[in-house]
Amino acid sequence: MAKLKILHFPDSRLRQKCPKVEVFDTNLEKVVEDMLETMYAENGIGLAAIQVNIIKRIIVIDISPDRNEPLILINPEIQDKKNEIEFEEGCLSVPGFYEKVNRYNNITFKAQLPNGEFYTRDVDGLLAVCVQHEIDHLNGKLFVDYISSLKRDRIAKKIQKLEAEGKKFERKNVPYSI
């Protein structure tokens, strides 16, 4: 296993539309393992492959308190969505910033496992929001795209400044329960 480097907003590499996974091989399994290691090391609840510069439709999620219920979503598609909610989100690629976003509280999604097997799940609440957030990544979209461009540009400048100073990002005070 290996911990991978996370790209930070406003890196333009986060803006790519990712193609589907076509080959279900041991390399895919290794990518998934490395993504899980990276997500756990960074105290995240979700990570899309594009965030670690792998341009494929691969997502890992774990919202469990004990960090031992990994979900793997390859080529995910939302099939049904209902009940709009407002949810305060963060992102490992936008460290230290949180904003309210409009999402759906209930979704049905279809995805594949690393062995290529298809599955369908109904999810709600935090997990549903996390799936929507991560699928946005696969289409080059970030949660800051839902806020005003003034706020977004301010966040971009702050992150760039911190990065230029070589500072470690604060990883405390994550507002949702993990």
* Whole-number Å distance between alpha carbons of 57 and 17: 9
Residues with Cβ < 8 Å from 165, sequence gap 6 or more? Answer: none
Long-range Cβ pairs for the range 118-122 (8 Å, 24+): 120/79
Using the structure block, give the residue that is written with the tokens 């949180």: 98
Q: At closest approach, how far in Å is the CB of 177 from Co ion? A: 17
Query: What residue number has its CB nearest to ligand QAP?
Result: 44
Q: What number of other Cβ atoms are within 10 A of residue 17's Cβ?
A: 11
The arrangement of strands across the sheet holding 58-61 comes to: 46-48, 58-61, 71-89, 99-112, 118-124
Choose which of 8, 35, 46, 144 interacts with ligand QAP (CB under 6 A).
Answer: 46
Concerning whether 134 is annotated as a catalytic residue, the answer is yes
**Number of residues binding to ligand QAP, judged by CB under 6 A:** 18
Binding pattern to Co ion, positions 56-95, x when CB under 5 A? -----------------------------------x----
Binding pattern to Co ion, positions 90-129, x when CB under 5 A? -x--------------------------------------
The SS3 assignment for 150 reads helix
Site of interaction with Co ion (CB under 5 A): 91
Positions marked active-site? 134
Site of interaction with ligand QAP (CB under 6 A): 43-46, 89-92, 95-96, 129-130, 133, 169-171, 174, 176
